[in-house]
Amino acid sequence: MKKKGIDLAPDLGAKFFPVVVLWTATQCASTADTPQGYLIPAQARLVDLSRAVDDTRPHAMQGTWIDVPDQGQAGEAALATLAPARCIGPLVVIDWTRESLANQGAELCVPDLERWEERNGTIPEGAFVLLYTGWAARWETPELYWNQGPEGRATRPGLDPAAVERLVRRNRVQGIGIDAPSLSVGSLLKDESLAAALEGGALALRNLAHLEKVLAHRGAVLILAPTPLPGSSTLCRVLAAVPREG
């Protein structure tokens, strides 16, 4: 069964079945490729966490981006060889909105992660950890979303590189994402947190949307469908499968 493109809506809508079919430019997953434990029941509700592609905007803000570690391969092959099993996993959302409202450059650090786990439990291995900052509210005004200062340095909430390293090395997460242009609080041109994620073998997601819709849901699963283009960075469809109440 071969599929082309990244529009998962026909497969993940009304006819959704307890198996997830994912594909990249050259691969198509079958039930055997889908990690057990991530099978999603037919009654799951889907929430789109990605931005519609808009090529009239600046390149870094044309949609939701995924960055893939090279893992010793040429960048051209990174996405083409991304295993479908890496495109699905448990979803964890960390609420960082209060801190971001108080400080545009609020940085999630290792002690913040430890306090979050004390309240919510240990972040599971293989999870996708998304930082909900509320920055997505600025999306319709690109200059506010980018938030570049007079000296050329952009300020926005993000993750400290040490916190990213802790997530990838201790929690062994599968991916890290944010509803902002970069994982770091600083400039996109020097995203040290993004570099830490990729060096640790994790996927990275930027410009996410609607994280408030999945903030309170436990047991949600994240599903990724990268655009089948060459390289190690591309636009991506991001869906959350949320268990229906009752």
Per residue in 221-232, pLDDT (tens digit) is: 999 988 877 778
Confidence at residue 219, expressed as pLDDT on a 0 to 100 scale:
83
Q: Is the domain defined by 45-242 classed in CATH 3.50.30.50?
A: yes
For residue 44, what pLDDT band results from cuts at 50, 70 and 90? confident
Residue 104 has pLDDT above 70, yes or no: yes
Is the pLDDT at 157 greater than 90, yes or no?
yes
Q: What is the pLDDT of residue 246?
A: 56
Q: The tokens of 113 are what?
A: 């992660």
Q: What is the mean pLDDT of the chain?
A: 80
How far is it, in rounded angstroms, from Cα 210 to Cα 155? 21
pLDDT above 70: percentage of residues in the chain: 76
Q: Which residue has the higher pLDDT, 80 or 85?
A: 85
Task: Please say if the pLDDT value at position 186 is more than 60.
Answer: yes
**What's the whole-model pTM score?**
0.82
pLDDT at position 6: 32
